[in-house]
Amino acid sequence: MVLPTARPAQAAKHALPDRRRVLLFGAEAVAAVITASVVSFLVQWVVNRLPIEHETNVPITLTWTAVLILSCAMLILMWRQWSWSATLGAWILPAALTSVVQALELFGTPFYLNGTSGDQFFRLQYLQRLTVSAGLADDNYPGLPPFYPAGWFWLGGRFANLVGHPAWAAYKPFAIMSIAAVSSLLFVLWSLVTSRRKALGITAVLALASLTYGAYEPYRWLAMVTIILSAVLAWWLFRSVTDPNDSTRRGPATLLVGIGLSVTAATYTLVFLFGVLLLVLLALMAALVARFEGSRPRDWRSTATLAKDLTLRLVLLGLVALPLTLLVWVPYLYAMLSRPTAANAAAQVFPIGLAKFGTPVLNPTVAGAVCLLGLVWIVISWRRSTVAQAFSVILVACVLWQVLSTLVLVFGTTLLPSYIAAVGEVVLWCACGFGVIDLIGFIPRRVKISNPWSMRLLASVLAVPVAIGLTQAAPRSDLLPSAFNSYGPDGHAANPKAKSAGRYNEQLIATIATLSGKPPQDNVLLTNHYQLLDFQPYYCFQTSKEQYANPLARYPERNQELVSWSQSTTPTELLAKLAVSEFEPPNVFVFFRNKAGNYPFHLAATDFPKENRSWGVTFRSEVFRSADFASRDVGPFTVIVRVER
């Protein structure tokens, strides 16, 4: 971690993987993912069958005990002589760590973090849609292609079909398994960048980070860690392009970076857009560094050649990323050309978290210390480490994204900067891993410790309580299903003491099936009881808020139609309005009843930069008193179905 007088970064900057190494990496990546998935499945199976009484603190004790054991195992693996068995252990241990922590944390509930509340509502609905059919379709609106990338949810649907679980029950094991598989895959990926021993150390740090940054959105975690590694390889690639004396074959690295970019496009749009900006910024920084080092003559011809070479490389990266990107995005892009569309409201949110500029390095916590050490390593190691250089560009890009998000406020939107700020924080965690490993080698040489194992022992002794502290401090206690009256379709709650309308789910589902006579995926509902959509693949005329809505659905226009329908005074008038609707109208209505026997319905709309505004309309009960409707009361609800003739 000392500033060298020479420039060893130049010697290391062209360490691009060759074709053989990439092929071996591909085979190992598949093996690691399969191994991690099996390990995660077995861990969850064992944990779910432990004789633990619900609503006790026993899982907490078991969690830190498991972290202690698994952390010690990884440390032993790091410091022993590397072999094929160590590689196998590096596939298994990170997956076991993340799986056991989450399985114990969620012990006794079939639900994942947040249950069926918050953003988890539309994620469960999306998984439900892609479980019923492998074809890409919007989670909520009939006849529309998806707006949110379907990659992770499509795989989740195939998993649900494979294990024979309904989507709502498959979400938890698939989410836990996803994070476990990514944790093991990271070891293989980082092995392309550094030594096996260091790769395991970085993987262990990222496994702990996944419990803080990745658990709530496993698919965003995949995109985040993929773009970070892609940035490191891209930095090496662009530095190779800027060196006229370098003859390294760049095809394998181009393939890897392009695939990494396409993975983000298939899983998380925001990270993909950030990745595009990041690659351009990396290319520009590579050109500036080349000029600063004097590896290119400073005349206009060489400048033009350098710009052409870097632009060509960016185009090649885009071409590699294009097939998978188009596979996910073509249906939506094609529909945009032939359908009217509303504004994208997904980014029209502005809570306090988006208004602030995060300073994680100043947090008085263990995680804050991790981020601070990572930042120190990046600054000190910048000249000698190409990894530190790539990390620094990512951090600059994160700050630039924050600034751009502030500027676009004048256009009535944001760039959701806190989501990208999380990428920067994960970079600091990675840098902390590099810093600690460098310190272990640097301090004995600087202070002349004769036995280097003493420094390794000290680092290991400190690492174990840090791992335990990080897992116990991860901010997820307020996201547990028991905090949100999460009911399954049978009416059983995650928290048996909870009381909510969710206890009528089973009766509502049965009533809809009886009155409509249709399979769930052929029904279009109108309801404020959105939890139903998580347990059956119903479509819905309107989702709960515009941020969840597909722009092609034209959320504001649908609200206008709902207001018009609620103003109907006779069945004939309502049926006439339903018949001329430009959207597919609902055939099933699930309403709450008020004391007067009418049906209040809540609507919402964006009011950026303020919170969403909401208001209510009321459907009169008499407009459904016709032979064209069949109805039945279920607790506080009334189910109404249009009768087909």
Record the pTM. 0.93
Q: Using the 8-state DSSP alphabet, how is residue 539 labeled?
A: E
Which residues, at least 6 apart from 105, have a Cβ–Cβ distance to it below 8 Å? 59, 63, 476, 480
pLDDT at 206 over 70: yes
Beta bridge partners of 640: 589, 631
User: What is the percentage of the chain residues whose pLDDT exceeds 70?
Assistant: 91
Confidence at residue 492, expressed as pLDDT on a 0 to 100 scale: 59
Confidence label for 2 from pLDDT (cuts 50, 70 and 90): very low
Tell me: cis bond preceding 609? Omega within 30 of 0 counts: yes
Q: Tell me the pLDDT band of 450, cut-offs 50, 70 and 90.
A: low
Q: What is the mean pLDDT of residues 212-225?
A: 95
* pLDDT for the residue numbered 9: 38
The mean predicted confidence, pLDDT, of the chain is 90
Which residue type sits at 504? Y
Quote the tokens at residue 520: 């769930």
Tens-digit pLDDT profile for residues 31-64: 999 999 999 999 999 999 999 887 788 988 999 9
In the Cβ-directed half-sphere of 44, how many Cα atoms lie within 13 Å? 25
Following DSSP, what letter does each residue of 565-620 receive, concatenated? HHT--SHHHHHHHHHT-SSPPPSEEEEE--TTS-EEEEEEEEETTEEEEEEEEEE-
Residue 338, judged by CB atoms within 10 A of its CB (0-12, 13-18, 19+), counts as exposed
Q: What would the two tokens of residue 454 be?
A: 């003493």
pLDDT at residue number 626: 93
Residue 270's nearest CA partner among 163, 420, 404 is: 420
Cα–Cα separations (whole angstroms), residue 22 to 26, 196, 255, 450, 627 = 6, 15, 9, 39, 67
CB of 550 within 8 A of CB of 125? no
What pLDDT digit, counting tens, does each position of 237-256 carry? 999 988 877 767 888 999 99
DSSP secondary structure letter of residue 487: B
Q: Which residue type sits at 421?
A: A
Tokens of residue 459, six digits: 């680092």
DSSP-derived secondary structure for 351-391: -HHHHSPP-GGG-SSHHHHHHHHHHHHHHHTTTT-HHHHHH
Give yes or no for residue 457 having a pLDDT over 90.
no
The answer to whether the CB of 143 falls within 8 A of the CB of 332 is: no
Q: Are the C-beta atoms of residues 138 and 129 closer than 8 Å to each other?
A: yes
Alpha helices in 242-299 (DSSP H): 251-267, 269-293
pLDDT of residue 645: 72
d(CA 329, CA 77): 42
Give the pLDDT score at 289: 86
The pairing of beta strand 539-540 with beta strand 629-634: unpaired
CB-CB contact of 72 with 128 (8 Å):
no
- How far apart are the C-alpha atoms of 296 and 294, rounded to whole Å? 5
DSSP-assigned states of every residue in 13-59: TT----HHHHHHHHHHHHHHHHHHHHHHHHHHHHHHTS---TTSSHH
Question: Distance between CA 233 and CA 227 in Å, rounded?
Answer: 10
In angstroms, the CA 368 to CA 232 distance is 24
Is residue 306 over pLDDT 80?
Answer: yes
Determine the residue type at 376.
V
pLDDT value of residue 514: 96
What span, in angstroms and rounded, lies between the C-alpha atoms of 643 and 645? 6
pLDDT tens-digit profile of 284-304?
Answer: 999 988 877 765 556 556 778
- Count how many Cα atoms sit within 13 Å of the Cα of residue 16 in the half-sphere of its side chain: 24
Q: Say if CB 171 and CB 153 are below 8 A apart.
A: no
Q: What is the pLDDT of residue 1?
A: 38
Greatest Cα pair distance, the chain, in angstroms, is 93
